[in-house]
A and B are shown apart, each in its own frame.
Chain A
Amino acid sequence: MSARKKIVAISSGGGHWIELLRLRPAFKGHFVVYVTVNEAYRAHIGNAPLRVIRDVTRWDRFGLLEVTAQITRILLQERPDVIVSTGALPGFFGVLIGKRLGAKTIWVDSLANVEELSMSGQKIGPHADLWLTQWAELARPQGPHFVGNVLGSEA
């Protein structure tokens, strides 16, 4: 057994959040801080800490600045060993900033991106230490890689 790690798990709402929750068994034995856009999601994660950030689209410039500041503040306070995200934009910033702060980063592109990676998913490649797609057809030798999906399907 290795030491207990601190993980920041970050996503936007809806399907991205559901997929992030599906990854929870992978976090077992470690300390997880969840970061998402909706206070109501607290109900899904028991006693784990939740930090709420602003919900933005990539066209909302002021919102992008604010959410970037929020995520930076959270990551500076939490100092996670690992950042994991299922998208979309908040996760993109989380991985980007976290990488610069020395965390190991994981990007799992959403199952909903069937025929091509999300825009965030394409651009995040160089910043993700573990860069995954949930579709074998989208895997490339240099990443993203495919090992399975959040439903538990075999590679």
Chain B
Amino acid sequence: MKLLVTVGAQLPFDRLIRAVDAWVEDHPEHRVLAQIGETDERPAHARWTKFLMPDDFDREFDTADVIVGHAGIGTLFAAMQRGKPILVLPRESARRETRNDHQIATARAFESYAGIVVAWTADEVAAGLDRLLETEGSTTLAGETGGPLIERINAFIESA
């Protein structure tokens, strides 16, 4: 399997990279590329790069079997749009990984979707990855949205 780990363009996320790297040590059969951001820590087992240019990012994303990332909307949507299973570890403000805890709320909102696994702590990353690699289908945003929001907006347009 091919895994792409991404921490996004803004801040490093060493806690995630460390947890994934430990898992890679136990699973040398998988090909893992980690985009680690501007940090002094280096994965010992995963291949790594600080940043990916947009074209390279798209190519890596498209060819990966599984995505691992922080719980940013952009990362989640990018995975869901391509129908890729994804594991996310939310950044925590108490650890100075982000300004507020919006990623924890985001992770909670997405947790119930098929193909999305949330690791609430770094300790849960390894088990989460094992579970994700067994996942067959994932939620894909390629399908049409339904539900009350669409119905409400449609009704509003009809009556406009």
Give the B-binding residues of A (Cβ under 8 A): 2, 5, 7, 14-15, 18, 22-28, 30, 81-82, 84, 104, 106, 108, 110-112, 114-115, 129-130, 132, 134-135, 147-155
Given A15-B73, A26-B150, A148-B148, are A130 and B156 neighbors across the interface (CB < 8 Å)?
A: yes
B157→A147 contact, CB < 8 A: no
Residue numbers in A under 8 Å from B39 (CB-CB): none
B102 within 8 A of A: yes
Q: B74 in the interface, Cβ–Cβ < 8 Å?
A: yes
Residue of A nearest to B155 (CB): A26
B144 to A148, Cβ gap below 8 A? no
B147 touches A22 (CB 8 A): no
Q: Quick check: B150 and A23 within 8 Å, CB to CB?
A: yes
DSSP class of B's interface residues: helix, strand, loop or mixed?
A: helix
B158 touches A108 (CB 8 A): no
**Known A14-B74, A15-B74, A25-B144: A134·B149 in contact at CB below 8 Å:** yes
In the docked arrangement, what's the CA distance between A23 and B156, Å?
A: 13
How far does the alpha carbon of A107 sit from the alpha carbon of B106 in the complex, in Å?
20
Q: How far is the CA of A155 from the CA of B145 in the complex (A)?
A: 14
- Find B149's partner among A2, A24, A149 (CB 8 Å cutoff): A149
CA distance A138 to B157 in the complex (A): 24
Is B100 interfacial (CB 8 A cutoff)?
Answer: yes
Contacts of B149 in A (CB 8 A): 23, 26, 108, 132, 134, 147-150, 152
User: Which A residues touch B77, using CB under 8 A?
Assistant: 15, 18
User: Do the beta carbons of B160 and A81 come within 8 Å of each other?
Assistant: yes
B-side contacts of A153, CB under 8 Å: 109, 147
Work out how many contacts link A and B, with CB atoms closer than 8 A: 102
Contact residues in A for B150 (Cβ distance below 8 Å): 23, 25-26, 148, 152
B159 at the interface (CB under 8 A from A): yes
Q: Across chains A and B, which 4 residue pairs bring their CB atoms closest together, nearest first?
A: A148-B149, A152-B147, A148-B148, A26-B153
Are the C-beta atoms of A114 and B106 separated by less than 8 Å?
Answer: yes
Query: Which residues in A have their C-beta under 8 angstroms from that of B151?
Result: 26
What 0/1 pattern do residues 119 to 160 of B give for CB contact below 8 A with A? 000000000000000000000010011111111111011111
Q: B105 in the interface, Cβ–Cβ < 8 Å?
A: yes
| Contact partners of B160 in chain A: CB under 8 A | 5, 81-82, 104
Chain B residue contacts of A27, Cβ below 8 A = 154, 157
| A82: chain B residues within 8 A (beta carbon) | 156-157, 160
Are B157 and A5 in contact, CB atoms less than 8 angstroms apart? yes
Contact A152 B146 (CB under 8 A): yes
Residue of B nearest to A27 (CB): B157
- 6 further A-B contacts with Cβ under 8 Å, apart from A111-B109, A114-B102, A130-B152, are A2-B159, A14-B74, A25-B154, A104-B156, A130-B156, A152-B147
Residues of B within 8 A of A112 (CB): 73, 102, 106
Interchain CB contact under 8 A, B102 and A22: no
